[in-house]
Structure 1
C-alpha cells in the first residue's frame, strides 16, 4: 500500500473511539483515558519504525479487547454502572453527588432522568390497549391480521424517538409510512377465501401477503427513528440490524416464559374450579404479545451495551447447523428432481431457510470485530453462502417451472421476486466474502453491501403490500 493510500491516524483513532464509546460502561472521561493509553502505545511503535496504521493495529491489539475493557470498568465502577443502567438511562455519567449528568457534566433534568423501563411499560400498555380496543370495537380477525403492525409498531417508533431523539423530519417520514400503509390496507376490498357452515371465511392470499409484507416494511421504517434519522449511515443501519437480532431473541424468550406462565395460571385456577382460559386467551395473550414488543426493545437497549453481546455466541452456534441444513436441502432437491411437481411446502421451507440464513449472516457481521483477520468461521460462512445460492437457484427454477405449468398467482409472484432479490444479495455477498478471505479488500465492504441492501427489501415489501392486491384482484 502506498503511503498516501494509508488511512490517517486521526481517522483510525476516531473510528476506534466511536466503537469503544458504544459501551455504556465507559463514560467520556473513561474513553479519554483509554485513548491516551492507546496513543502512548502508538507513539512508541512509531518510534520503533512502524507506519501509522501498523502502529495503530498493534497498539489496539496490545490494549486488549473492548469487551474485556468494558467488563473491567464495570467491576471497578459497578455502582455507577447500575445507577446508569437502571435509574438514569439517559445519563452519560454520574456526578460526585451521585446524580446523573450529561456529557458535559451538567445534572440532567427530571424528564431526561425518567426511568426507561417505566416509559417502555407505558408504551407497551398502550400497544396492548390499541390491539384490544380494535378487538372490542368489533373490527374482526381480518382487521387485526392486516393492522397488527400498524397497531403496535407506532409505539415502538415512539420508544425509539424517546431514546434516540430523531429530528422532526425523520419522524414525519415514519408517520407518513404508517399512514399510507393503514389507508391502503384498510381501503382495499380484499376478498377472503369462502368458508363453510363449520369454518369461517379465511383471508385471501393477497390479504395475507399485504399484512406480512407491510409488517416487514414498517419494521424497517421504524429503523429511521432508531438511527436518529441518519438512515444513510452504514453504522446506523448495522446497529439496527444488531438491535433486530437481539430483539428477536428477547421476544422469543419472553413469549416462551409468558406462555408457560399462562398455562400454569390456567391450571392453578382450574384446580379450584375456575375457568381462566377465556380471560387468558382473550385478554392476557393479545395484550401481552403487543406489550412484549416494547419490553423486549427495552431489554435490548438496556443490556446490549453493558453485558457481552450474545450475537457472537448465537452466530457461531447456528452457522454450522444452518450450513448442514442447506446441504440437506440440496440433497432433498436432487432426490425430488421433478421441479414442476416439487412440493409447495418444500419450496416454502426453502424460502424460510434462505431468509434465516441471510439474517444469520448479517447478524454475524454486526457482531464481528472489523479489525479481526479472517479465520475458519469466515470460511464456513462462505460454504453456507455457496450452499444458499444453490438452494436459491433450485427454488427459482422450480418456481418458473410451476408458473409455466399453472400460471401466475400472487403467492408465486411474491416468492419469485423475493428469491431473485435474495439471489442477487447472496451472490454478491459470497463474492465479497471470498475477496475478504483472500485479503483483497477489508471487512467493511461486506458490511456496506448488506446495509446498503436493506432498502431493497423495504421497497419490495412495500410493493407486495400495496401494489400486489389490486394487480391480483384482491383475491
Structure 2
C-alpha cells in the first residue's frame, strides 16, 4: 500500500498520521497534496496543510537559507574538486581517471544533499554509503587495459548504477512506495531541465566575459576556463537539485507540461520516420548507426511517456493525451521489435560479443517496460484498469534498470575475462 492510501485510511487517526510523517516526511508531503485535494474540508487535513506550509519567522527563515547556502556551496566545491583531481595530483592521469570516475563527480554530492534533507535512519545511511563505496573501489581496481570492451562497458554502466543508488537515497525508507519512486522520476526531469537552462545561461555569460576581457587584452584561458568553468559546470546540477527540491510546489509541473507539448510532435516524427524507412528501404540489420538511432529514439519516447504520466490525475476519464501516449508507446514497441530482430541477426551472423549482449539486454529491458505500459493502458481504455496501475507498473519496473546496470558493471569483466 502506498503513502497516499495509507494517509486516506488514517484520516480518523491523528496518531497514525504523525507516525507516517515521522516515517518519511518527504513521501508524506508528496502523497498529502493529492489526499488534501480530494478532501479539502477535512479538519485534520487542514491542520496538516497549515503545518506543512507554515512559513517560519524571518529569523528562522534566514538561518535556514544560510544553512542551505553553506551546504550547496560545500557540495559544489566538493564536486568541482573531484573533477579537478588530475590537475591537483599530476600522478593521476586523465585518460585513466575520467572514464572510471566521472560519475563520482556529481552523484555523491547529490546523495549527500538528499541524506541531509531526508535525515534517514542508520540502516539507510549505512546502505547508501556502502552502495557508493563498493563501485568506487571496484571500478578503480579493475586492470588498466586499453582495449577491453568489458571494462569500457563497466565504466559506461556505472552512472546508471549510481543513478539507481541515488534513487534509493532519494526515496529513503519509502523506497518501496510507488508515489516516492514517481517523485524521483519527476525530480530527474526537473533537475535536467534546470541544469540545461543553467548551462545555456552560463555559456552566454562565458561568451560575454571572454569578449569583454579580450577588448582590454586580458587572457582568461588558464584560470577561467580550466577552473571557474569546471566548478560552475559541476555546480549546475547541484543548484538545480536544490531549486527543484525547495520550490517543488511552484515548478513541479514543468517537465510533464513540456512532455505533453512534445508528445504529439514526437508521435508525428516517429510516424514520418517509419514511413521514410519503408520508402528508402533502409536496412537496420546491417546498418549499425541506424540501430543506434533506434535505441536513442526508444529512450526518448520512454522518457516522454513517463513524464506525461507523472502528473496525470487519477480520473478515469480518457483524455486526448492518453491516446497520444498510447500511440507513442505502440509505435515505440514496433521500433524496438525491429531493433531486437536486427540485434538477433547480428548475433547469429557475427557471433556473441559483450557489446552485442549489452545492447540486446538493454533493448529487452526497454521492450518489457513499454509492453507493460501498453498492456496497462489497454486495460485502462477497456475500463478494467486505472491510471494508478500504469504508474505502479512504471515505478515497479525501475529496479530492473539498476539490476541490469549492476550486472554489466560488476559481472561482465569477469564473465568475459576482461575482453
TM-score, normalised by the number of residues in structure 1:
0.75
Give the alignment of 1:59-138 within 5 angstroms. 93-94=54-55, 98=58, 100=60, 114-138=66-90
Q: Report the CA distance between 1:25 and its aligned residue.
A: 13
Q: Report the CA distance between 1:333 and its aligned residue.
A: 4.1
Residue-pair matches, total? 395
Matched, 1:11 2:9: yes
Aligned to 1:259: 203
CA distance in structure 2 between the aligned counterparts of 1:231 and 1:284, rounded to whole angstroms: 37
Pick aligned residue for 2:271 from 317, 321, 327: 327
CA gap 1:210/1:260 in 2 versus in 1, 3 angstroms: farther
Q: Report the CA distance between 1:13 and its aligned residue.
A: 6.5
Whether contact under 8 Å (1:410, 1:468) holds in the other structure is yes
Q: Which has the higher helix share?
A: 2
Whether contact under 8 Å (2:257, 2:308) holds in the other structure is no
CA gap 1:269/1:205 in 2 versus in 1, 3 angstroms: farther
Larger CA deviation: 322-331 vs 436-445: 322-331
Counterpart of 1:189 in 2: which secondary structure? Answer: coil
Matched, 1:210 2:162: no
Give the alignment of 1:11-410 within 5 angstroms. 11=9, 22=29, 35=39, 37=41, 93-94=54-55, 98=58, 100=60, 114-138=66-90, 139=92, 140-193=94-147, 205-307=149-251, 309-334=253-278, 335-341=280-286, 343-371=287-315, 373-410=317-354
Aligned to 2:391: 447
**Which structure 2 segments of 5+ residues have no match?**
44-48
CA distance in structure 2 between the aligned counterparts of 1:270 and 1:387, rounded to whole angstroms: 52
Q: Report the CA distance between 1:321 and its aligned residue.
A: 2.0
Q: Report the CA distance between 1:387 and its aligned residue.
A: 0.3
Counterpart of 1:467 in 2: which secondary structure? Answer: helix
User: How much is the aligned-residue C-alpha RMSD, in angstroms?
Assistant: 3.3
Higher relative contact order (CA 8 A, sep 6+): 2
CA gap 1:141/1:268 in 2 versus in 1, 3 angstroms: farther
CA gap 1:8/1:113 in 2 versus in 1, 3 angstroms: closer
- Rg (Cα) greater in structure: 1
Larger CA deviation: 306-315 vs 254-263: 306-315
CA gap 1:272/1:454 in 2 versus in 1, 3 angstroms: same
Whether contact under 8 Å (2:256, 2:310) holds in the other structure is no
CA distance in structure 2 between the aligned counterparts of 1:136 and 1:91, rounded to whole angstroms: 45
Counterpart of 1:305 in 2: which secondary structure? Answer: helix
Q: Report the CA distance between 1:24 and its aligned residue.
A: 12
CA gap 1:396/1:147 in 2 versus in 1, 3 angstroms: same
Matched, 1:462 2:406: yes
Whether contact under 8 Å (2:244, 2:252) holds in the other structure is no
Matched, 1:413 2:357: yes
Whether contact under 8 Å (1:214, 1:465) holds in the other structure is yes
Whether contact under 8 Å (2:195, 2:240) holds in the other structure is yes
Whether contact under 8 Å (1:24, 1:306) holds in the other structure is no
Aligned to 2:375: 431
Whether contact under 8 Å (1:181, 1:214) holds in the other structure is yes
Counterpart of 2:306 in 1: which secondary structure? Answer: helix
CA gap 1:25/1:263 in 2 versus in 1, 3 angstroms: farther
Counterpart of 2:253 in 1: which secondary structure? Answer: coil
CA gap 1:206/1:286 in 2 versus in 1, 3 angstroms: farther
CA gap 1:283/1:468 in 2 versus in 1, 3 angstroms: same
**Which structure 1 segments of 5+ residues have no match?**
1-6, 40-72, 78-89, 102-107, 194-203
Larger CA deviation: 395-404 vs 274-283: 274-283
CA distance in structure 1 between the aligned counterparts of 2:69 and 2:353, rounded to whole angstroms: 46
CA gap 1:277/1:114 in 2 versus in 1, 3 angstroms: closer
CA gap 1:249/1:13 in 2 versus in 1, 3 angstroms: farther
Whether contact under 8 Å (2:256, 2:309) holds in the other structure is no
TM-score, normalised by the number of residues in structure 2:
0.84
Counterpart of 1:369 in 2: which secondary structure? Answer: coil
